[in-house]
Structure 1
Amino acid sequence: MAKKSMMERHAKEQKFKVREYNRCPLCGRSRAYLRRFDMCRLCFRDLASKAQIPGVKKSSW
């Protein structure tokens, strides 16, 4: 989980647009963010393994 102060800072309107960045809405992580699914890779992996993301399944070969 991200620090609460970082989550609050992210929620505020930024003075300059280039300062905006993506955060996972579930855990607050800013790195390894997947835009297509709007979450970080850790939350994506967890939800995909529980089959809670439609159309996503674990690949195997």
Structure 2
Amino acid sequence: MAKKCVVVRNEKRKQIVEKYASKREELKKQGDYEALRKLPRDSSPTRLKNRCSITGRAKGVYKKFGLCRHILRKYALEGKIPGMKKASW
């Protein structure tokens, strides 16, 4: 379980990225890198980290589900993810 402050920080970054996305796109098209540099650092999408929506874990996260591998397996075995079942061949 990740610290609550780390999860909150990442959520805050998501909001900032969304807020400045159009402005960043416009400045990139113009080639105005000086103005782009003056924007907040957290407005860059590369500073975002994929985290599990349940635990906040940063590693082993499946983008499609937004869950880490532990929680994904748990939910799949419980039948909480439609169409997913344990493989057997």
TM-score, structure 2 normalization: 0.63
Q: Percent identity, aligned pairs only? A: 39
> How much is the aligned-residue C-alpha RMSD, in angstroms?
1.1
Unaligned runs of 5+ in 2: 14-41
Moved more, 38-47 or 12-21: 12-21
Mind listing any 5+ residue stretches in structure 1 that lack a counterpart? none
Instruction: List 4+ stretches of structure 1 deviating above 4 A.
Output: none
How many residues are paired up? 61
Aligned match of 2:5:
5
User: Larger relative contact order (C-alpha < 8 A, sep ≥ 6)?
Assistant: 2
Greater helix percent: which structure?
2
Q: TM-score, normalised by structure 1?
A: 0.88
